[in-house]
Amino acid sequence: MQEKIKKWGLVFLWAGLIFFLSHQPGLKSGLPNEWDFVLRKLAHISEYFVLTLFLINALKEHCLSKKKIIILAVLLAFAYACSDEYHQTFINAREGAARDVLIDSGGILLAVYFKNFSLGRKKKKMVE
């Protein structure tokens, strides 16, 4: 039970960090425009990559198949990405953009790929 609470705690802390960053008006890095744009989009990918990994790890604590864990993690992370963009429509100098949800989805899918790849390698090592 303690492990389950820790893992879900990480999910909520990370979601809170995403919310906090999204709530900052006109968040910029101070870099030239083209580099600022690239950095912010990489941040989107990274935020949702980590969120999805935390969700997968938390969902593993429940009696679910690997397929259900992946599907739930993807759906929850995607729903949070959509709600985050909606949230940004209420913040000065911010905008909610479908493009950003697609970029967030890239991070979500990378996390699923990474997790499947790492799980596959662990199983392979166990067989050897």
pLDDT at 126 over 50: no
How far is residue 124's CA from residue 128's CA, in Å, rounded to a whole number?
Answer: 7
pLDDT for the residue 121? 58
Distance CA 68, CA 52 (A): 14
Q: Is the pLDDT of residue 14 over 50?
A: yes
pLDDT (0 to 100) of residue 127: 41
Mean pLDDT of 65-92: 94
> Average of pLDDT values for 88-96?
88
Average pLDDT, the chain: 89
pTM for this model (two decimals): 0.87
> For the residues 49-67, what does the mean pLDDT come to?
95
Q: How far is CA 105 from the centre of its chain?
A: 8
Token readout for 29 is 């890095």
